[in-house]
Chains A and B, each alone.
Chain A
Amino acid sequence: MKIRPQRTTIGFLVIAVLVIATIQVLINTQILSNFWATLLRIGAVMAIVSLGLNLIYGFNGQFSLGQWAFYAIGAYSAADVTFRWSTMNSASGVVILLFVTTFIGMSYLWIARLVRQVKGIDPLSAFAIYLVGTIFAGYLAVMIGKEVIDPATTFLASLPAGFAMQLVFVLAVLMAGVLAAEISYLFGLPILTLGSDYFGIATLGLTIIVKVLLDNSDTLLGFPEMKGARGMVGIPKLTSWLWVASFLVLVIIVTRNLLHSSAGRAIVAVREDEIASKAMGIDIAFQKTLTFVLGSFFAGLAGGLYAHINGFLHPNTFNFIKSFDPMIIIVFGGLGSVSGTVIASFTWALVLEGFLRLWLPDGFETWRFVVYPLLLLVMMLLRPQGLLGTFEFPFLKQILPKPLQSKIMADKTSSENSAIGG
């Protein structure tokens, strides 16, 4: 069968390329100042995190406050990788993280196959098995990885400097996503069996744990370059508008393709009615894990990109209070709307840090945290379904096929005239 790309897909790609290019030109010609360019990049990063959370909460119905934990994990792991390359001239970060993510991923696939053969294993036992697997695979990865650091460093150094840096950066961001996804899979095992509110509290706990660990990253975790509560400095500023926008486009496409498939419908079915989904043959544990892992993967990617915007990371950025930011964005944009989430993310970044900062009179800048909640309040009163409700742009909207007519109806009416009333 020949695949003809849908018109809306082409339209979306053309518009996306045009918008991204225009903004890039505006940045290059200094019409958009550095200030606004940074806000746009932060908006795109927030869009990626929020799309992940919208999958988990908006589409799958799992109230999660853990998105910020995976964002933090992504940010710090990616930052460490590029920091080691740019400042310490060592490929140790890339190599170790690459080995760790691959080994843990492979061990999960292997354990999943083993566990599937045991019927009725309870989630906590499964968690214990996975935890042992993780530790073992991680240890093995570090041991083997150590041997490869030197050759990898010489290999990377032999490449043109700029190219090597970009390569390390992209690998770091991708691996940050994978690491976040793997950790979410591990912790999702016990907590995804919880009901929605309890799940929210459990994930909030995860966010707090990660924040505390980051506060003590130099001592407890043993990464002196992260400098614990003093904040990590000297991360290369590599997140250009082009990178962050390309990642956003990819994330939007993956989200859309998933949601428009049978798996996507199963994900939404779990939100609508768990018991009915089970009765329709849907493995709800699998669907929940899938969305949680994918959502966390997006959070990890976004974290990796965020770390390279300002070149500075502080554990306070990943405080649990801030974990409500993506939650606010998806409710503001419309739960279960991809277009709404993207628009709301940019609005959030530009209005909160941009316009409000400029419009409020001098000395009243901090009042934006009064104006912003008021705006949210008014918004929720006037449009409780969110900015866009469930509206989607044509590219993101699912097209209903034409209803069946004639043939089957004729069949049916001839065979069983009075069968169906109504």
Chain B
Amino acid sequence: MSQTMQAAPSSDVSSAIDTPMLEIKGLLKQFGGLKAVKDFDLSIHQGELVGLIGPNGAGKTTVFNLITGIYVPTAGSIKYCNDSIAGLPPHEITQKGIARTFQNIRLFPNLTVLDNVRIAYHPHAGYGLFDAILHTGKYFQLEKELTERAQEFLAVFSLHDRQGEIAKNLPYGEQRRLEIARALAATPELLLLDEPAAGMNPGEVASLMDLIHFIREKFKLTILLIEHQMRVVMGICEWITVMDFGEVISRGDPEEIQNDPRVIEAYLGRGAAALSQRLREKRSDVA
């Protein structure tokens, strides 16, 4: 299938129309004999909201781990803003402007909500060890600014009245929100969300979708999202890439994906794919 993700957002006028923000080519990750990801291509332009879906074990999270440097790719290139980031240590990749959340929430469980966010702001703290140990004026000033920034992030996620609470004591939905708040405190331009709606009830999912739209506007983010709940994916993603067994099997906008027999086959099996094909034909016959 040809590269369909060419359209840049209409607001983007000049520069980066042709060069994608994130460009992955021929990515391969082998664990022993297992090819967890092979021949994976993806490009994301500034301002897009892209979905990455696929059945369990398809290699979606591995792709995230490769982008964020937790795994080193066996082969292939990952370019962020035209810089190769493949093989860089994770903290350097984050400092370049890519932040992520985790499938199974990974907060700093025994720290306060405020500290969780302040830690993510650490690379931007602006004062060094000597200022810290001597408690210089610079320390007091920058620490105050940093704390205010963190509190603003919390306020955006209506967690400001929870700031003193220990993170592991928060209810599940708030832990999810805190994790997104923490990722944003790392001041990314590209945000990777790994199954943000996992384990949420329909009400929470609806507010999560609003939240993703909201932060995308407010922080001018580009978002790549893994999700299982089709409601979320189809509802908010502009472009979707479908993976199965480590390979890309389809890409396109939500409409195209929904009608792609290979996607249906991957999710529901060959029989179901054939059935849905027949149903669709019948429907068009009737029409």
When distances are taken between beta carbons in the complex, the residues of chain B under 8 Å from A254 are 133
CB within 8 Å of A: which of B135-171?
A: 135-137, 139-141, 143, 146-148, 151-152, 154-158, 160-161, 163-164
Contact A412 B210 (CB under 8 A): no
When distances are taken between beta carbons in the complex, the residues of chain B under 8 Å from A264 are 132
CB within 8 Å of A: which of B168-208?
A: 173-174, 177, 182-183, 186, 203-204, 206-207
Contact B140 A280 (CB under 8 A): no
Tell me the smallest distance from the CB of B93 to a CB of chain A, in Å: 8
Q: Does A278 contact B (CB under 8 A)?
A: yes
Q: Of A283, A290, A418, which one neighbours B91 at CB under 8 angstroms?
A: A283
Q: Of A279, A416, A421, which one neighbours B203 at CB under 8 angstroms?
A: A421
Q: Does B264 contact A (CB under 8 A)?
A: no
Per DSSP, are chain B's interface residues mostly helix, strand or loop, or mixed? helix
Q: Does A151 contact B (CB under 8 A)?
A: no
Tell me the smallest distance from the CB of B141 to a CB of chain A, in Å: 5
Q: Of A3, A280, A419, which one neighbours B137 at CB under 8 angstroms?
A: A3
Decide yes or no: A276 and B102 within 8 Å by CB, A266-B122, A420-B211, A421-B204 being known contacts.
Answer: yes
Q: Does A20 contact B (CB under 8 A)?
A: no
Interface stretch (choices A166-174, A348-356, A400-408): A400-408
Contact A276 B106 (CB under 8 A): yes
Q: Does A362 contact B (CB under 8 A)?
A: no
Q: Does A281 contact B (CB under 8 A)?
A: yes
Of all chain B residues, which has the CB nearest A269?
Answer: B119
When distances are taken between beta carbons in the complex, the residues of chain A under 8 Å from B57 are none
Of all chain A residues, which has the CB nearest B210?
Answer: A419
Q: Of B91, B146, B173, B177, which one neighbours A282 at CB under 8 angstroms?
A: B91
Q: Does B87 contact A (CB under 8 A)?
A: yes
Tell me the smallest distance from the CB of A403 to a CB of chain B, in Å: 5
Decide yes or no: A273 and B108 within 8 Å by CB, A281-B120, A420-B207 being known contacts.
Answer: yes
Q: Does B45 contact A (CB under 8 A)?
A: no
Q: Of B161, B173, B182, which one neighbours A403 at CB under 8 angstroms?
A: B161
Q: Does B123 contact A (CB under 8 A)?
A: yes
When distances are taken between beta carbons in the complex, the residues of chain A under 8 Å from B102 are 275-276, 279
Q: With A and B bound together, what is the CA distance between A408 and B158 in angstroms?
A: 10
Most central of A262, A264, A275, A283 by chain B CB within 10 Å: A262
Q: With A and B bound together, what is the CA distance between A155 and B204 in angstroms?
A: 76
Decide yes or no: A412 and B156 within 8 Å by CB, A272-B110, A276-B102, A419-B210 being known contacts.
Answer: yes
Bitwise, B114-134 to A at CB < 8 A (1) or not (0) is 110011111101010101111
Bitwise, A258-301 to B at CB < 8 A (1) or not (0) is 10111111101100110111111111100000100000000000
Q: Does B82 contact A (CB under 8 A)?
A: no
14 new A-B pairs (CB below 8 Å) besides A257-B135, A265-B118? A2-B137, A257-B134, A258-B129, A258-B132, A266-B119, A266-B122, A279-B94, A279-B100, A280-B120, A280-B182, A281-B99, A408-B152, A421-B211, A422-B177
Chain A residues with CB under 8 Å of chain B are 1-3, 120, 254, 257-258, 260-266, 268-269, 272-273, 275-284, 290, 400-401, 403-405, 408-409, 412, 416, 418-422
23 A-B contact pairs sorted by A residue (CB < 8 Å)? A1-B141, A257-B132, A257-B133, A257-B135, A261-B132, A262-B146, A263-B122, A265-B111, A268-B119, A272-B110, A275-B106, A279-B68, A280-B120, A401-B114, A403-B151, A403-B161, A404-B152, A404-B160, A408-B160, A409-B155, A412-B156, A418-B210, A419-B211
